[in-house]
Amino acid sequence: MRKGLVRLIIAAFCFTALSSLYGQGKIDQVKSKLKQINEQWANYDKTGNFQAIWDFYADSAVVLPPNAKMLRGKDAIKAFYEGENKNIDRFTNVEYNTVDVLGENNLFMEIGTYKNTIRMKNMSNPVDDEGKYVTVWKMMPDGSLKVVADIFNTDKSLKEVQSARMNEKDKDDEMTGGREKK
């Protein structure tokens, strides 16, 4: 009886240890894929190839952008960003940094930070932003990863954002004598 219990404990320990190693191996594999995806995503942002970004999203993805309603489904996400991107001239710098990846089976949560510099069509100075995000990725049967949920927001306070907008408006007013630019 005692030998059987010892064997059972040893088997359970080995199974747990091997499962942890397998799980960590899968996490490392996902981290490697996310590094490649983040580099591609940043490149697509910088080149204005927003169409390619939609391929990262699952059809039923949910995005929770700051100061906006929840977006459900790829079509809603695409429509939202097409509206947002109309004001963007170009991204001059984009960096995504994965801080941690957690998960198992086919769902993985990426916790990360971002930095970007954006030239807006209606502003003379570029806009620098830093923030953080949590993205839930689903591993598809073919091994690819698709975004199923995404939330992100700036590290800047509302006061900083409003101040930057007001400073830009003041500069525009100085240039136009308070008249609206055409």
For 32, the 3-state DSSP assignment is helix
Q: In the chain, which ranges are continuous DSSP H helix?
A: 2-47, 50-53, 74-85, 158-176
Residue 164 has pLDDT above 80, yes or no: no
Share of the chain above pLDDT 90, in %: 56
Pairing between β-strand 57-64 and β-strand 145-154 as defined by DSSP bridges: parallel
Share of the chain above pLDDT 70, in %: 77
Are the C-beta atoms of residues 116 and 93 closer than 8 Å to each other? Answer: yes
Taken in order of first residue, the domains within the chain and their CATH numbers are 2-176 (3.10.450.50)
pLDDT tens profile 1-54: 556 544 545 544 444 443 444 457 899 999 999 999 999 999 999 998 888 998
Report the C-alpha gap between 117 and 95 in whole angstroms.
Answer: 9
pTM: predicted TM-score of the whole model, two decimal places: 0.76
Which residues, in sequence order, are CB contacts of 24 under 8 Å at separation 6+? Answer: none
Three-class DSSP category at 125: coil
Rounded-to-integer distance, Cα 21 and Cα 18, Å: 5
